[in-house]
Amino acid sequence: MAGLQKYTVQEANNLQVYTGYSSQTITVDDDDADNAGTNWLTSGDGPAKEVTFVPFSGDATAVIKIWLKINGGYGDPITVKFDDFPITFNNLLIDQVKLQSDSGDSTAEVFEVISFH
């Protein structure tokens, strides 16, 4: 009987094999200078193959901007209303995410960010 073998990196990417997961609570406010986020490269988890944003509390009319850091650089923000969550991004190798709220009030939006690596 053959022993269990790990997938190569390419096989794991092709098959969306996850070797671990992490979860982090992020509180987002409307301060443009302070974008809340995660960094899976410095935490040792490696790039996330799938990321799910689950809302806990916040202003239902808030507009949330999400930046994905892929291959060392951020793209344009993805703009989503708070009511449109939960959202999942998959089939990407995401190094880091940042979130910002444009709700314009003192209510902070709270998300649980679940990442699969």
pLDDT tens digits for range 38-97:
778 777 778 888 999 999 988 888 889 999 999 889 989 999 999 999 999 988 899 999
Span 16-40, pLDDT tens digits: 667 778 888 888 876 655 566 777 8
CATH number at residue 108: 2.60.120
- Nearest CA to 56 among 98, 116, 114? 114
Whether 20 is covered by a domain: the verdict is no
Residue type, 56: F
Query: Is residue 75 included in any domain, yes or no?
Result: yes
**Rounded to two decimals, what is the model's pTM?**
0.77
Beta bridge partner(s), residue 70:
73, 94
Residue 69 domain-assigned (yes or no): yes
**Number of separate domains in the chain:** 1
Residue 40 belongs to what domain range? 33-116
In a domain, 50, yes or no: yes
What is the C-alpha to C-alpha distance for residues 9 and 110, in angstroms, rounded to an integer?
34
What letter would DSSP give residue 38? Answer: E
